[in-house]
Structure 1
Amino acid sequence: MQLSDEKKIRVMYRVEPGCLGPDGVDHIEDFCRFANKHIKSPYYAQLLFLPRYDKQKGERQYSVKNRNLSQVQAKAYLNHFEIDIEDFEEQLDELLSKSIDLYFKR
């Protein structure tokens, strides 16, 4: 199945510098560029990894056509593709964890 970009759910994932270790703040910008290049988005989504400097902003933000979605709306959107949002987020966290390992091994 091929979706046009405007129909894909966009997932802005704000990465905590601390998940890169005690000097994570020194690596977070470079890591996000690395993650954006190496983590492939599924056919129904666009993934974007950004540093999370502002704790007021959520870790994940879902949107479609530049309109932010609530968690309930994001869940309904993913259900359309028979994707469970909890499983999706768990897989995303695992991908991020593996990418952190790859980032530091390069």
Structure 2
Amino acid sequence: MQLNDEKKIRLEYRVEPGCLGPQGLSHIEDFCRYANKHIKSPYYAQFLFTPRYDKQKSERQYSVNSRNLSQVQAKLYFDHFQINIVEFEEQLDELLSKAIDLYFKR
């Protein structure tokens, strides 16, 4: 199944510099570039990893066709594909953890 880009759910995942350790602030920009290149999005989604400098903004922001979605709307989107959003987010967190390990081992 192939979706065109405007029908895919887009997840902007704002990564906390602190998750990269005490020197995270000096690594966060480069790590986000690394994550964008190495963490592959599923067919129904597009991932965008960005630094989270502003704590007022949520860690995850879902959107479709440039329109932000509430958590309820995002859940409905995932329900359409018979995907549990909580499990999806947990798996993505694991992928991010592995990417952090690989980033520092390169």
Report what 1:27 is aligned to.
Answer: 27
Report what 1:36 is aligned to.
Answer: 36
Instruction: Give the percent of matched residue pairs that are identical in Structure 1 and Structure 2.
Output: 81
Give the Cα separation in 2 of the matches to 1:86 and 1:101.
Answer: 23
* Structural RMSD (CA): 0.3
SS at match of 2:43: coil
Deviation at 1:31? 0.1
Give the Cα separation in 1 of the matches to 2:85 and 2:99.
Answer: 21
Ranges in structure 2 where 5+ consecutive residues have no aligned partner:
none
Report what 2:10 is aligned to.
Answer: 10
1:16-95 → structure 2 map (5 Å cutoff): 16-95=16-95
Letter in 2 for 1:63: S
1:91-106 → structure 2 map (5 Å cutoff): 91-106=91-106
- Using structure 2 for the length normalisation, give the TM-score: 1.00
Number of positions where the alignment pairs a residue of Structure 1 with one of Structure 2 = 106
**Per-residue deviation, residues 10-31 of structure 1 (Å, max 9, x unmatched):** 0000000000000000000000
**Per-residue deviation, residues 36-66 of structure 1 (Å, max 9, x unmatched):** 0000000000000000000000000000010
**Per-residue deviation, residues 65-84 of structure 1 (Å, max 9, x unmatched):** 10000000000001100110
- Using structure 1 for the length normalisation, give the TM-score: 1.00
